């Protein structure tokens, strides 16, 4: 097991950039989620230019939990991921470990949401797919940091 000073040494090298990269990626997810939340509360249709089905997905019964749009939960998750990544960028090992837990949970939920789009709703929302790609990118960044430290 590496000591805190060894983690900081690793963080000052190539791995130090990974938490900062993760923070930037999390901001993309945060912007996407905030956009969908605003559209939900204003009642405006979301333009779907790449795939068809945004409205079908975003107005389905799976788009809310107890009347709260999933996009709000996504925004909260991305904000937490962003915050943890920023703290980790300054050498806080615990927050990087918490970031890892956060993105694993986000990825598991994302798999469920993509499954719902593909097999239950049978439609895709391009903004939801951006969120999925963002989440999996965060997971990959975290996994790269873990595997690069094992060498």
pLDDT tier for residue 6 given thresholds of 50, 70 and 90? very low
Across the range 7-25, mean pLDDT stands at 70
**Of the CATH numbers 3.40.50.300, 1.20.1440.130, 3.40.50.460, 2.40.30.110, which one belongs to the domain with range 4-150?**
1.20.1440.130
Across the range 16-33, mean pLDDT stands at 95
Domain ranges of the chain: 4-150
pLDDT tier for residue 11 given thresholds of 50, 70 and 90? very low
Q: Residue 70 and residue 112: Cα distance in Å, rounded?
A: 13
């Amino acid at each position: 097991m590496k000591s805190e000073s060894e983690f900081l040494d690793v963080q000052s090298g190539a791995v130090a950039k990974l938490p900062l990269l993760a923070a930037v990626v999390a901001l993309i997810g945060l912007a996407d989620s905030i956009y969908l939340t605003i559209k939900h509360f204003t009642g405006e249709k979301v333009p779907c230019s790449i795939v068809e089905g945004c409205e079908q997905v975003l107005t389905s019964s799976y788009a809310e939990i107890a009347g709260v749009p999933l996009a709000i939960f996504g925004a909260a998750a991305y904000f937490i991921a962003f915050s943890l990544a920023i703290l980790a960028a300054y050498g806080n090992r615990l927050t990087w470990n918490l970031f890892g837990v956060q993105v694993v949970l986000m990825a598991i939920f994302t798999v469920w949401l993509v499954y719902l789009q593909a097999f239950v709703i049978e439609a895709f929302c391009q903004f939801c797919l951006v969120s999925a790609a963002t989440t999996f990118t965060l997971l990959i960044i975290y996994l790269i940091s873990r595997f690069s430290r094992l060498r």
